[in-house]
A and B are shown apart, each in its own frame.
Chain A
Amino acid sequence: MAKNVVIPIGPQHPSLKEPACFTITLEGEKVVNAVVGTGYNHRGLEKACEARSYLQDIYIIERVCGICSHIHSTTFCQSVEELAGVEIPRRAAYIRTLMAELERLHSHLLWLGIAGHEVGFDTLLMYSWRDRELVLDILAMLGGNRVNYGINTLGGVRRDVTPEQIEKIRKVVDIVEERNKYYVQLALSETTLAARLGGIGKLSHDDAIKFGAVGPVSRAAEVADDIRVTDPYSAYDEVPVTAITDNHADVFGRTVVRVLEIMESVKMIRFCLDNLPDGDIAVKVPRKIPEGEAFVRTEAPRGEDAHYVRSNGTDKPDRVRVRAASEANWHGMKHMLEGDYLADVPIIIAAIDPCYSCTDRAIVLDNHDTGKQSVIDWRTLREYSINWYKARGIDTGKIKIADSHLIF
């Protein structure tokens, strides 16, 4: 029994999947094997969706993941709209895009904080989460809730954007951009951070394709795969999108991609606000959806989000399949971990941006030579890794934060 007892401190992520525990085999300090254990968060949403109507399903699907909630519901709505053969009004498409980009802002800021936390740079966590609050305020203003905005509905969106709200969004976006300039500078030129993040968690261009990595993980390996560009949805056919890529193919590259993406999102939000078309925000979608099947992909903050919906002519779907973005990235995890030091494990796992709770889990260490097993929790490992690097002269806790950005 003792062998399998792992205390899952905060199993994992939401989507139907996502792991809770890792079994890592070590040779000295090197990781030689990593097994990802999963299934703690399987709730059976797909079955639940089959028993409810399309409209009810939106709200279930939105709760697949609390961070990418908007993009999940957008994907689902789009699948159903495709099946029903309705086109949503342009204004609705723009509002969806606006929400999606705001969501990307908050998600990337969140990630930046977590990454800072994992490498012992807690100041960054506090700063970026503080900035994130501003974005959340905007999302709450637009959707009515801080996490699951519930703004999507079949055939469009539920709430309109007023001119006063647009003014507020502009102000916040300006602040976030200003602050983010500093994070970009930090990510690109801070030597301590570069030394800490560079060269670990490598996933080369070919491997990224082989393991089906998506989002920032693959874009950091120069795979220019951004669904917003390759398969435009919502208003992305009009909004100018630049896919950010980087050639580092490691954790450092993923950081660079994310901070630069925040800048891109800011531009896109401004574009949406400037070009918001007039008109209705929703069209009517019949309750019964004609028979058919739809496979829709969108670009969530973490990468490709794919939904498959099959209808059988009634008001309930026949089958709903959700493939969340993080799920695709876990496949390459084993590869990324192997060959790296134990001290790098926390940040490598955090770098694919699993939702926060899933980074907070237990780790089983398996010593290759002695065959002994020990269980350590995430926090211990994180502290170990910070001290390991400190002993080698890399102390992210010493990074000075520029004061000029403290103005609230």
Chain B
Amino acid sequence: MSELIAEKKALSTILEKFPFLEGKIDVQRRQRIISSPMERPLFEEVFSFVVTDGGFNCFHLVIGVDDGENLGFIYVLSNQDKVMLLLKQSAPKSNPAIKSVCATFPNALWHERELVDLFGTIVEELPEGPTYPLPDGWPAGNYPLRKEWKVEYFDKINMTYNPPATVGKEEE
């Protein structure tokens, strides 16, 4: 078992600033630090801290996940020592609003567009541009990576989504 020196160092920098995160953010294995989901105001504070003072200045990707009640967003950052930090944000499905990180990391653009298309996230301050990656003519309000969205009910020819309850009605 290696000592995980770089990992512990990076972790202690974060914990020094945010002592209440103790236990919520930990070293998973070599080169991985994983946090538990945080609500928006706290997440933004932690995120800007790790980027500016924590040394995590390299952005890799953001992963969207469906946690049932909430949507989760996992931001993957890394620092000089190649330690990857998986910082999680969560937002309620009813109003999944998050703030864009494009101003700091231009390469987040496509990842955030993907969150908009596939999860129905509201990304504030996202630069204008084409949607990605869903095709033209995709019915609004359908977010395919949400768990409740089932591919069986999607009519690809007419591009409509017909969950069982509404199928009968539409035929009339």
Contacts and interface: CB of A to CB of B under 8 A. Distances in A.
Interface residues of B, number: 34
B63 A321 contact: yes
Given A39-B133, A47-B151, A209 B82 contact: no
B133 A319 contact: no
Interface of B: 29-32, 34, 57-61, 63-66, 74, 76, 82, 84, 86, 105-107, 109-110, 129-135, 144-145, 151
Given A16-B133, A42-B134, A295-B32, A306 B109 contact: no
Interface stretch (A98-106, A108-116, A322-330, A359-367): A322-330
A300 to B, nearest CB: 14
Interface of A: 16-17, 35, 37-39, 42, 44, 46-47, 51, 82, 209-212, 225, 230-231, 293, 295, 297, 304, 306, 308, 310, 318-319, 321, 323, 327-328, 330-332
Contacts of A82: 29
Contacts of A331: 106-107, 109-110
Contacts of B106: 210-211, 331
Contacts, number: 78
A38 B132 contact: yes
A49 to B, nearest CB: 11
B110 A295 contact: no
A209 B106 CA distance: 11
Contacts of A35: 129-130
Given A46-B145, A319-B66, A306 B61 contact: yes
Nearest to B84: A295
A310 to B, nearest CB: 7
A38 B133 contact: yes
Contacts of B132: 17, 38-39
Most B C-beta atoms less than 10 A away, residue of A82, A306, A321:
A321
A39 B133 CA distance: 4
Contacts of B107: 210-212, 328, 331-332
